[in-house]
A and B are shown apart, each in its own frame.
Chain A
């Protein structure tokens, strides 16, 4: 890293810069795999995260990410540290919790946040219990924080498949999903299948969390959903434009996070999420709409 600061002729310095930014991915297959996985995740997670934020379900995403744990743990129990088994387990348990919590909310008086919290706590306790029955704390750390350096071809295909499903589903049900967000009463009054849309959306959340946890771990996966989305709202005033910005932020954080973890020898999941966190802090401070800067910016008031 020190070489970059030295006064070199322009061209050679460019080479060094390019080296710095690209060589990890040229030289190491696992870095390429990790990068592709994260970029794919960014495409699917950003719009789903945007909807989570807009529906005020941010903390439910968090709860669901914990709920995935026992599924992963059972997969781990059956076939060791196999991403496949853990992923399938995660999907099954995540969907069960999401649908059960959704159903409890729609058909009883319990509020959605409370029913999610109740189910995820049960689920999390079960997960930790199962892992502690077999395996060491190192394995637990792997499940919780991810092993991006072990993203193999099957895992890549899985992530790509989930992203594809997410993007296509979002495109298909975009209209009712948006309406269900801001005016559920209207959607209901015109017969727009609000409940179906809600459950479809929950399925997408679980799929993206599971896609994320192979790479980032169950604890960190939700960061890819929430942080870019929570930042994007400071830069755009419409859903689609904010989603594009969220995707961009997620991609930039993935790339720089991976570089950070490569050079500094940090674990990759936290590096990526922390980079996204820096983007978020920047947005909170200097974003175009509603940020601290925009609210206190100097200048005379306008005529209208």
Chain B
């Protein structure tokens, strides 16, 4: 079982909350879209879930799941794409838990990596330098690496922003495969049609929780309007929050 439950969770920077008093559960094997306007704390929430950001308040219960077992795809700008390294070298890092710092490469690992590249539609790209790839191709490489990570929980931060339709369709098939394999999937998305079409569950936030449940119940006009109206302001003189949780 790999449920992740949030208990009165507050995340933020320098005591200012970006996610405020959030409670709920990502059930094991569920597929949840995280939706909200810019600055609503979506990425912050994902950083909290993956353990990269320590909560300001409340807690995240991951059960027996270790944070290093979560496959996490951050927004793309954090990767240096001019680095002189080949596609295969990057993909094979997905096997980090098998190879670690010192482990050698086995024939089986190369085959797995080649197979993952095939799955994302990049067969024959093994020896290419990553600096030669287009944005879409690079995102395919990231997905191939996550395929090898073989994680029970997959966390994606805007995986399809500025990615063309064909690539999005192909990579969506990978996500649906993960869903069929009963992995827990949490993805930040901006395309509401995508969310309505493919994601059974939705979490709508605008710093505060607005709705979390079946997609058609959460993605109502009323809720979306409410999320847009929520303030994005950073109040420098904000008082200490005394609310003790829902």
Chain B proximity of A153: nearest CB distance (Å) = 35
**A190 with B85, Cβ < 8 A, contacts A175-B101, A176-B101, A237-B129 known:** no
The stretch among B72-80, B106-114, B164-172, B187-195 that forms the contact with chain A is B72-80
Q: Any chain B CB within 8 A of the CB of A136?
A: no
9 additional contacts, CB 8 Å, given A191-B66, A242-B84?
Answer: A172-B102, A173-B101, A175-B99, A176-B101, A185-B79, A189-B52, A190-B97, A191-B67, A192-B96
Cα–Cα distance between A190 and B149 once the two chains are bound (Å): 9
Q: Any chain B CB within 8 A of the CB of A239?
A: yes
- Find out whether the CB atom of B84 lies under 8 angstroms from the CB atom of A239: yes
- Find out whether the CB atom of A238 lies under 8 angstroms from the CB atom of B97: no
Contacts of A176 in B (CB 8 A): 101
Cα–Cα distance between A178 and B92 once the two chains are bound (Å): 13
**A189 with B50, Cβ < 8 A, contacts A236-B84, A238-B84 known:** yes
Majority DSSP secondary structure for residues of A touching B: helix
Chain B residue at minimum C-beta to C-beta distance from A190? B96
Give me 22 A-to-B residue pairs in the complex whose CB atoms sit less than 8 angstroms apart, sorted by A's number.
A54-B80, A54-B84, A172-B102, A176-B101, A182-B79, A182-B80, A183-B80, A183-B90, A185-B78, A186-B93, A189-B52, A189-B70, A190-B149, A191-B68, A192-B96, A192-B101, A193-B101, A236-B84, A237-B84, A237-B131, A238-B84, A239-B84
- Find out whether the CB atom of B83 lies under 8 angstroms from the CB atom of A182: yes
Q: Any chain B CB within 8 A of the CB of A79?
A: no
**Cross-interface CB contact of B85 among A182, A188, A233, cutoff 8 Å:** A182
Chain A proximity of B196: nearest CB distance (Å) = 30
Contacts of A238 in B (CB 8 A): 84-86, 129
Cα–Cα distance between A110 and B86 once the two chains are bound (Å): 33
The 10 closest A-B pairs by CB, nearest first: A182-B83, A191-B68, A182-B80, A190-B96, A189-B72, A237-B129, A183-B79, A185-B78, A185-B74, A238-B84
Q: Tell me the A90-123 residues at the B interface (CB within 8 Å).
A: none
- Find out whether the CB atom of B52 lies under 8 angstroms from the CB atom of A188: yes
Cα–Cα distance between A178 and B67 once the two chains are bound (Å): 22
Cα–Cα distance between A185 and B50 once the two chains are bound (Å): 11
Cα–Cα distance between A12 and B85 once the two chains are bound (Å): 49
Chain A residue at minimum C-beta to C-beta distance from B96? A190
Q: Tell me the A172-223 residues at the B interface (CB within 8 Å).
A: 172-173, 175-176, 178-179, 181-186, 188-193
Chain A residue at minimum C-beta to C-beta distance from B71? A189
**Cross-interface CB contact of A233 among B70, B71, B78, B84, cutoff 8 Å:** B84
- Find out whether the CB atom of A54 lies under 8 angstroms from the CB atom of B83: yes
Cα–Cα distance between A190 and B79 once the two chains are bound (Å): 15
Contacts of A193 in B (CB 8 A): 101
Contacts of A185 in B (CB 8 A): 52, 72, 74, 78-79
